[in-house]
Structure 1
């Protein structure tokens, strides 16, 4: 698909056709990151919003906690914490 860069005020705009937006699940207001490649191309990537449930689902619950976490369990309260 060919697209054309257009002048908009003092900027240059790339118009993304509606079918492409639909395929990617994008709409006006969504954030994207723009990078250049070593081959002279552009890489435009949607920034995904993180959802706590998705991040928890991606965790390996059988993995042992980091070694430095045990230190936290042995520390005395430093303020008015109530455990």
Structure 2
């Protein structure tokens, strides 16, 4: 697939086709990490790092609900393997 670099104000822009955006799960406003690797421009969807995700795991958020406890205490009912 080829795209063309266009002038956009004092910058340049690349328009990404809808099919490519859908395949990557991107929307307008999504953030991409951009780098040069071995002479190639590489763009990838950026997201939180593992450290950032783990930082949101507080004891309050990790506490089991009553529904969780009931589910965990249930016996297998089908062909589950534990």
* TM-score normalised according to structure 1 size: 0.56
Give the length in aligned residue pairs: 54
Structure 1 distance, partners of 2:53, 2:14, is: 33
Deviation digits for residues 51-73 of structure 1, max 9, x if unmatched? 969x97xxxxxxxxxxxxxxxxx
Q: For residue 45 of structure 2, what is the aligned residue in structure 1?
A: 46
5+ unaligned residues in a row in structure 2: which ranges? Answer: 58-82
Q: Aligned equivalents of 1:15 and 1:49: distance in 2?
A: 24
CA RMSD of aligned residues (A): 2.3
Runs of at least 4 residues of structure 1 off by over 4 A?
49-53
Aligned pairs for 1:2-81 (under 5 A) are: 2-38=2-38, 40-49=39-48
For 1:41 and 1:15, locate their aligned partners in 2 and report how far apart those are by CA, in whole Å: 18
* CA gap 1:37/1:52 in 2 versus in 1, 3 angstroms: closer
Structure 1, unmatched stretches of 5+, are 57-83
Deviations 1:27-78 (A, max 9, x none): 011111100012x11110101247969x97xxxxxxxxxxxxxxxxxxxxxx
Q: TM-score, normalised by structure 2?
A: 0.57
